[in-house]
Amino acid sequence: MNDNTLALTQEELVLLKNSEEGKDIETYGNLYEIATKYKSIKHSDIEKIGLDETAKLVLKSGKANLFTNIMMEWYARKDEDIANSDETVKCGLCGRENTYIFYIRNRYNEAELHVGSSCIRKFSGIENSNEILKMFNGNKKIREEQRRINAFLKKIPNADNLISKSRREFHELPVLLPWDLYNSLDEEILNLNKIYNDFKSSGNINNLENVISQFKESEEVYKVLKQQANKFVMKRESTENQTIICKRRECRWLLDTGNKKLFRRIAEDQGLYTPDTIKEISSHDFISELKPVIQKCCEDTAFKIKEVRYEDKKLVFLIDDRIHRDVLEATVPEEQFMRSIGWKCVFQENYKIMINPEVFTITSSKRNINVILSRVNRAISKTEYLIEFVYDDDHERLYFEKRINGTYMVLGTEFFLKQYLRNIDLSEKKLREVYINYFHELDKDKGWLLIKDRMERYEFEKMMAKEKLGRKRA
């Protein structure tokens, strides 16, 4: 060990002098009495200053235990937190000037010392010191950041407003810009934000002029791009066909639904929809806005489409023609509509909507079923077969009855509606042929039941269903 190194530092001696632990002569000898006369003690002084053997042993091997017990006497005061003054104050331990001061108090003798942040770190065993330091570091970081903000805003007073305004205006552009312009404008706004925030969070005040220069250069680039964007918007506003322009609402929908690739494809097409891209726009608001275009495509069609409604992500077409006694409802999901029909309404001149069974579904409602049965039964009644489709409103079941022998068969409603939709445009004669052939196929089936037993069978089935539900619950 180098004899010139310190056995007790100035900070340790000050803490020792203001503590009670060192006064225990049995444990520490005359260490307190002798050591408190000095500002610091070197290892070479241990044999020269009159320390007894116990005190010498403590300094040579037991100093750590001594200061562990000393630090337990002290606590950092929370009531005054951090003293921050424009005038510097000398640390009570090392004597250096400090701007930030912590107050520590001895719980046994009420002694109080104000100490700097570097000294309190040396004695981390003092109660509350780590919590106070953590709070100090947070407050110091905030104060330093505020100083950097103040310095930046003295040079460019509206910097933060410029950034927030540019971002807001970018998101509020009424139409989608061409990709290169959109991307360049977005990146320049991000660059402005990055320059300002990087300096605010960790910048060097001495490098402020260089940072300000970078910010101003970026601002000039942004202004040029913004002018280009404004000119493009004015051009789009004068475009005759507004339907094919991707507007802000759909831009937001594309980004919110994660369709970034589609967003870019449209932007690369100068912000205009093509037949391929508009197929993927299934936004409810966009399709609702297309209603006049869709309605026009329903005029003069083979099936008089009286009205188009929008319900629960579906389009509902009301078919009002001469071959049905009442209006029929056919539906198509919004996504399927745009991919199969909607894009044609926008891009194909004189396009007329056809009720395609691969796209449309007849709504399974009592009214629809009875309207269809009225037409089908009228067609098959003009045959030698005594057959008829019957819909039981009370039990919501569809039957095919063979009156000649009083038997019936239960039919799937969804299947029946789908089958009818495939044949909806047939003449009555052709429709009759379809259902007679259907009857011949069913007639081969052995699943015919007696009509007179139908109610009894229904009640039996209902009872079995209840028992089955009860077993599941049990």
pLDDT digit string, tens, across residues 10-29: 999 999 999 999 999 999 99
What was the pLDDT predicted at 130?
Answer: 85
Ranges assigned E (strand) in 320-448:
328-333, 361-362, 387-392, 397-402, 407-411
Ranges assigned E (strand) in 301-414:
305-311, 314-319, 328-333, 361-362, 387-392, 397-402, 407-411
Q: Is 212:157 a contact under the CB 8 Å cutoff? A: no
In this structure, the answer to whether residues 107 and 208 fall within a common structural domain is no
Q: Which amino acid is at 28?
A: Y
Q: Is 1:50 a contact under the CB 8 Å cutoff? A: no
pTM, whole model, 2 decimals?
Answer: 0.69
What was the pLDDT predicted at 22?
Answer: 93
In this structure, the answer to whether residues 126 and 17 fall within a common structural domain is no
What was the pLDDT predicted at 469?
Answer: 57
pLDDT band, residue 396 (cuts 50/70/90): confident
In this structure, the answer to whether residues 396 and 460 fall within a common structural domain is yes
Last residue of a domain, one of 325, 341, 362: 362
Greater confidence (248 vs 99) lies with 248
Is the pLDDT assigned to residue 132 strictly greater than 50?
yes
448, 451, 452, 456 alpha-carbon torsion, rounded to 10°:
80
Which two tokens mark 470? Answer: 């009860």
Domain span at residue 32 reads 6-72
| Closest among 198, 224, 222 to 211, alpha carbons compared | 198
Q: Would residue 1 count as lying in a domain?
A: no
The Cα–Cα gap between 375 and 144 comes to 84
What was the pLDDT predicted at 321?
Answer: 80
Average pLDDT of 199-214? 94
In this structure, the answer to whether residues 164 and 271 fall within a common structural domain is yes
What was the pLDDT predicted at 458?
Answer: 60
In this structure, the answer to whether residues 166 and 205 fall within a common structural domain is yes
Q: Would residue 462 count as lying in a domain?
A: yes
Last residue of a domain, one of 254, 281, 308: 281
The Cα–Cα gap between 267 and 255 comes to 13
User: Phi, psi (5° rounding) for residue 72?
Assistant: -70, -20
Give the helix, strand, coil percentages of the chain, each rounded to 5. 55, 15, 30
Q: Which residues contact 376 (CB under 8 A, 6 or more apart)?
A: 389, 420, 431, 435
What was the pLDDT predicted at 471?
Answer: 47
Percent of the chain past pLDDT 90, that is, above it, reads: 55
Q: Would residue 272 count as lying in a domain?
A: yes
Q: Would residue 389 count as lying in a domain?
A: yes
In this structure, the answer to whether residues 401 and 345 fall within a common structural domain is no
In this structure, the answer to whether residues 137 and 217 fall within a common structural domain is no
Q: Would residue 435 count as lying in a domain?
A: yes
In this structure, the answer to whether residues 62 and 122 fall within a common structural domain is no
Greater confidence (142 vs 211) lies with 211
In this structure, the answer to whether residues 335 and 441 fall within a common structural domain is no
Which pLDDT tens digit goes with each residue over 260-288?
999 999 999 999 999 999 999 999 999 99
| Least confident window among 183-197, 369-383, 394-408 | 394-408
Last residue of a domain, one of 148, 173, 205: 148
- Mean of the per-residue pLDDT values for the chain? 88
In this structure, the answer to whether residues 413 and 351 fall within a common structural domain is no
Q: Highest mean pLDDT range out of 31-35, 305-309, 322-326, 385-389?
A: 31-35
| Closest among 409, 329, 429 to 372, alpha carbons compared | 329
In this structure, the answer to whether residues 269 and 165 fall within a common structural domain is yes
Q: Calculate the alpha carbon distances from 149 to 140, 142, 152, 153, 192 in Å.
A: 14, 10, 5, 6, 15
| Least confident window among 122-126, 213-217, 398-402, 467-471 | 467-471
The Cα–Cα gap between 111 and 59 comes to 24
Q: Would residue 474 count as lying in a domain?
A: no
Overall domain count for the chain = 5
Neighbours of 29 (CB within 10 A): 20
| Least confident window among 27-31, 57-61, 153-157, 167-171 | 57-61
Q: Would residue 265 count as lying in a domain?
A: yes
Q: Which amino acid is at 210?
A: N
Q: Would residue 208 count as lying in a domain?
A: yes
Is the pLDDT assigned to residue 366 strictly greater than 70?
yes
In this structure, the answer to whether residues 295 and 211 fall within a common structural domain is no
Strands 6-8 and 112-116 come out as: unpaired
Q: Which residues contact 413 (CB under 8 A, 6 or more apart)?
A: 364, 369, 396, 397, 398
| Closest among 74, 102, 100 to 88, alpha carbons compared | 100
